[in-house]
Structure 1
């Protein structure tokens, strides 16, 4: 699968996962639903790799553990805490900063130069999402809102650090799918410990709709979505791959247009145009190849 296909698959899967998440709202606490999602994904992925005789140990465990902490446990805790305090639109705008955080972290951890193109694309994308969700951004910045923004920033930064850990795994010879398998297992263990420590009831779900949504989130949003995203991180760089966080909320709104009768405003249309322009800037061929002799797409 080429890089363009990986990007499209990542965006489409993460852009549709909100439907499954919405179907899980009910008797099972949100944090426990995340635990079930990551645990099921880990079990399925490890079993699949074992059956096909592709399950191997990571080259270095420390980066797999760091990836588990940052991508498969604590980031979810932070982002779901944010979702309880601020509108989803504002959360999407903050999370879209992942491409910029990725560029900053790549500079810190890998010495990569932060290019004007990446900064411009990131600013266009974040500004575009701000316009898309303009109505939900008109909130009073009371203490709860400020805490929600803080949780969202923390979750986004943790997510970005997970992308850096994945790059380290790839550099040491551990492929994204192997790192994901073991990382999800470790992440599920961390989430279980947190659930027990905070006295969250481990409700056993029986509703068929909930179980179908759980299966979708485990297989598609977790196993496939994270694998394609981290393959992009390895192949085109973390800043470019992080731009998926800008595009998938737009996909979610397009789907909402058909299923929830979302009404597009002038600012929303302009916002989508800016986000797509940022996408074009981020992945534009500038007549020269990336380091290593490969174009991003």
Structure 2
């Protein structure tokens, strides 16, 4: 009987080595670059918004902003050849996005800045990660890994230090501070609902630019109706700084930035995307240093560093299985 020598036999394949874990989507340049652009654009908005509140009622400034943003997105969608023939579900989604993001969120942000400093509103808005995490868990079934939770804790600690510093240098009256904080919390809820909407399968079923154009224009119409009801006929300030601010807020900080931001949400989810709101207060404080004479103390510097560390930890977290 012919026998195979051990050396003639088919070699035993080596045991498969475990596959290297996939690199987190949130650390790829395709995410980090738009993430950075959005953060810089929105970091400057707080100073610009504060300048918009001198003469024109807040609701009218919000209305003008989204008229500019909606028309910009409309032209962009037409250039891209995107279709606007939404079905009933699409129109419902556009209305929900308009009310949550472009009405509730911004009307209450602008009103908050009438009662507390823009820097404090920016610091408070960094807490967007909290409702995003809660609503993402409730409606999207997203589980939070330990590294993401650890990063959240570090970042929130940094935001808390910035909050304490801001409160010390601007000890506003208790009632004014309470109203401003309450308005910011309502704005946070509106923004978080919009973030969750953008992470659903419904959002992916429609062209993004066309959907945003429709939602912004619907939002502008609702904002205008609210403004006329609460503040009377339109008020326009022809100051160059005001008009430039409307164009910056409408075209760059809204039309361009939201296209990038909602694209980020669709890739890495609303929780990680909300970390732009953790970094934005630091950027806002840097702009305040340059244009408003903001002074950095050891407390503020420590808060800024903790915020950055928490951001890095959270962005490197891998999304756990659902």
Q: What's the TM-score, normalizing by structure 2?
A: 0.82
Q: Map residues 198-237 of structure 1 onto 2, 5 A cutoff.
A: 198-237=230-269
Correspondence for 1:196 among 218, 228, 232? 228
Q: What residue in structure 2 maps to residue 274 of structure 1?
A: 306
Q: What residue in structure 2 maps to residue 156 of structure 1?
A: 188
Q: What residue in structure 2 maps to residue 49 of structure 1?
A: 77
Q: Which moved more, 1:260-269 or 1:185-194?
A: 260-269
**CA contact 2:119–2:285 (8 Å) conserved in 1:** no
Q: Which moved more, 1:267-276 or 1:135-144?
A: 135-144
In structure 2, what is the Cα distance between the partners aligned to 1:143 and 1:99? 26
Change (3 A) 1:178 1:133: same
In structure 2, what is the Cα distance between the partners aligned to 1:285 and 1:98? 18
Q: Which moved more, 1:97-106 or 1:251-260?
A: 251-260
Correspondence for 2:95 among 50, 65, 69? 65
Q: Tell me the SS of whatever aligns to 2:231.
A: coil
In structure 2, what is the Cα distance between the partners aligned to 1:290 and 1:114? 7
**CA contact 1:92–1:129 (8 Å) conserved in 2:** no
Change (3 A) 1:170 1:244: farther
Q: What residue in structure 2 maps to residue 123 of structure 1?
A: 153
Q: Tell me the SS of whatever aligns to 2:200.
A: helix
Offset of residue 28 of structure 1: 1.5
Q: Does 1:102 align with 2:169?
A: no
Correspondence for 1:241 among 260, 273, 283? 273
Q: What residue in structure 1 maps to residue 162 of structure 2?
A: 132
Change (3 A) 1:58 1:123: farther
Q: Which has the larger radius of gyration?
A: 2
Change (3 A) 1:77 1:246: same
**CA contact 1:240–1:282 (8 Å) conserved in 2:** yes
In structure 2, what is the Cα distance between the partners aligned to 1:94 and 1:18? 12
Q: What's the TM-score, normalizing by structure 1?
A: 0.89
Change (3 A) 1:21 1:87: closer
In structure 1, what is the Cα distance between the partners aligned to 2:173 and 2:56? 30
In structure 2, what is the Cα distance between the partners aligned to 1:290 and 1:235? 14
Structure 1 portions without partners, runs of 5+: 293-297
**CA contact 2:82–2:209 (8 Å) conserved in 1:** no
**CA contact 1:103–1:118 (8 Å) conserved in 2:** no
Q: What residue in structure 1 maps to residue 178 of structure 2?
A: 146
Change (3 A) 1:85 1:23: closer
Offset of residue 141 of structure 1: 7.6
Q: Which moved more, 1:206-215 or 1:19-28?
A: 19-28
Q: Does 1:24 align with 2:24?
A: no
Structure 2 portions without partners, runs of 5+: 1-28
Q: What residue in structure 2 maps to residue 174 of structure 1?
A: 206
Q: What residue in structure 1 maps to residue 216 of structure 2?
A: 184
Q: Which moved more, 1:102-111 or 1:40-49?
A: 40-49
Q: Tell me the SS of whatever aligns to 1:2.
A: helix
